[in-house]
Amino acid sequence: MESIIKRNIKDLDYPLIMVMILISIYSVIAIYTATYGKIDPNIPSHIIVRQMVWEVLSYIAMFAMMFMDYHTLSKYRWWIFGISIFLLVAVFAFSRVNGAHSWIHLPGGGSIQPSEFAKLTFIIWTADYMAKMNEKEFPDYTLKGLLPIFIAFIVPFMLILKEPALGQALVLLVIMFAMLLVYVKRRHMQILIAIAAVVVITFGSAVAVYPNQTIKMLEHQHIMPHYQTMRLISFIDPTFSPTGSGYQVLEAEIAVGSGSVFGEGLLKGSQTNGSWVPFQWTDFIFSAIAEQLGFVGSSVLIMLFLVMLYRMVKVAMTSLDDFGAYLIAGSVGMFAFQIFENIGMNLVISPATGITLPFISYGGSSLIVNFLSIGIVLSVSLRRRTLRFD
């Protein structure tokens, strides 16, 4: 074990680590400036200290994960998956925060968000299932063989939806989609893409052409809770309720737009530093970056994310085995969707769903989980070479 690390340390994906450090710097600056001098009681006290502590813990977790052989995950996959399901159930024993049972409150004031962990544990379990299937003498790529994946998906999916945390549930769906895309046989992949296209197009056009009817139906059939349909309405028409559900979106858009090319400067954003954007330190953190650092600063962040995804994919493609590749594919899907969805809602090209911006938004659970995912990628990168000629 020791020796492998020593021998392969050169193979470690250093650019990925560099990118992660740069992204973390963005995060600390964004949270600091988005909460500086504000008196909003929703802001956790000493938010910037908390965030930095979480950053440190996350890096420790990442490196620990890196040094640990990722195959160990395969060994404990049932334990990991089981604990995560237990936590998703346990969540309902705790009081709601912002209207949802999403947190488990720990003694001492902290809290954890099991849905964050569920995403990663689902990736681990599914990657292992897929890899094991590939190694079988007669792999079963039929629908029957896919059934356990669907079951492993549907249980946490329904629990998360029940919290309610529609955004997190959607992330889980996208993770499964991304992993299946890499795993299934050609025919199934075509069907998969076709289904996704049909769902997106049908829903999109229904909302665009018959917004009110669609939204009423969604609410009536209990597919979406009221607050979520309001968000959807406000996405279609932010002026529908400019001081209610549309307020956050409108203010965030103004913040982004007024940032212009070079931004208004740190702590000089009239929207951000005038606290016009509620909950800017979590879901709408990107608007703070965009206003203060402008197009230049915020597109650099998007480019950093793109580089991160590229490095991840690169590691996946040179992975020693399928298990590593599938693990990374799941994470790539998770990150790509969250980045697109979160920044998209700041830019009003996707509806607000309560998805945080990975590595940037305030929040301990998501930081830990996201960095653990990167830790897995690094662990794979450390173990990808099969032969060395010293």
Partner 1 sequence: MKEINPRGKLQPKTVKRIQLLFFAAALATSSLIVRLGYLQITEAQQFQSDVAVQNFSSLPIPGSRGWIFDREGDVLAADVPVYQILYIRYPNDSYSAPKVARELAPVLGMKAKTLENMMLNQNQMQPTVTLVNQATPREMAFIAEHRDNLPGVLMMTVPQRVYPLGELGAHEIGFIGPIPASEWNQYQAQGYPKDALVGLSGLEQSYQSVLRGQYGEEKIPVSPAGIPLNQGIVSVPAKAGNNLVLNLDGPLQKVAEQALVQRINFLRGVGETNVHSGTIVVLNVHTGAVLAMASYPTYNPEWWIGGISNQHYQQYLTNNAGFNRAISGLYMPGSTEKMLTAMAALIHHEMTPNLQVLDRGGLQIGTYFMHNWNLGGFGWVGLKEAIEVSDDTYFYQVGLNMGHFNTNNPPSNISAWLTGGRVQALNQINDLGKKFGLTSLTGVDLPGEMPGYVTYANPPTLYDLPAAAIGQEEAYSTIGLATYIAAIANGGYRYQPQLVHEVTTSQGKVVKIYKPHLVDKVPVPENYLKIIQQSLELATHGTLGTATYYFGNDKVNVAGKTGTAESGNPGRNNSVFVGYAPYNHPEIAVAAVIPNVTGEGFRAAAPMAQQVIDAYFAKPDHPLTNPSSKFTTKNMKKHG
Q: Mark residues 49-88: x for contact with partner 1 by CB under 8 A, - for none.
A: ----------------------------------------
Does 95 bind partner 1 (CB under 8 A)? Our answer is no
Q: Mark residues 136-175: x for contact with partner 1 by CB under 8 A, - for none.
A: ----------------------------------------
- Figure out which of the listed residues 23, 339, 368, 369 binds partner 1, where binding follows CB under 8 A: 339
Least Å from the CB of residue 97 to partner 1: 16
Structure tokens given for 387: 């032969």
Chain centroid offset of residue 212 CA = 30
Binders of partner 1: how many residues, by CB under 8 A? Answer: 63
Cβ atoms of 361 and 169 closer than 8 Å: no
216-219-224-225 Cα dihedral, nearest 10 degrees: 120
Q: Mark residues 287-316: x for contact with partner 1 by CB under 8 A, - for none.
A: ---x---xx--xx--xx-xx--xx--x--x
Site of tokens 């299932």: 129
36-38-44-48 Cα dihedral, nearest 10 degrees: 0
Cβ atoms of 334 and 326 closer than 8 Å: no
* Alpha helical stretches, state H, the chain: 2-8, 14-35, 47-67, 71-75, 77-90, 114-135, 143-162, 166-183, 186-209, 211-220, 226-236, 247-259, 285-317, 322-346, 364-382
Q: Mark residues 271-290: x for contact with partner 1 by CB under 8 A, - for none.
A: x-xxxx-x-----------x
Does 107 bind partner 1 (CB under 8 A)? Our answer is no
Least Å from the CB of residue 159 to partner 1: 26
Closest Cα partner for 23 from 279, 361, 272?
361
Q: Which is nearer to partner 1, 12 or 217 (CB)?
A: 12
- Figure out which of the listed residues 166, 178, 249, 352 binds partner 1, where binding follows CB under 8 A: 178
Tell me the C-alpha distance between 146 and 242, whole Å. 45
Structure tokens given for 381: 């990168």
- Figure out which of the listed residues 93, 151, 209, 387 binds partner 1, where binding follows CB under 8 A: 387
Structure tokens given for 326: 């599938």
Q: Which is nearer to partner 1, 114 or 269 (CB)?
A: 269
Tell me the C-alpha distance between 27 and 44, whole Å. 16
Q: Which is nearer to partner 1, 240 or 295 (CB)?
A: 295
Name the site residues for partner 1 (rule: CB under 8 A). 4, 38-42, 134-135, 178, 181-183, 186, 189, 243, 247, 253-254, 256-261, 270-271, 273-276, 278, 290, 294-295, 298-299, 302-303, 305-306, 309-310, 313, 316-317, 319-322, 325, 328-329, 332-333, 336, 339-340, 343-344, 347, 349, 386-387
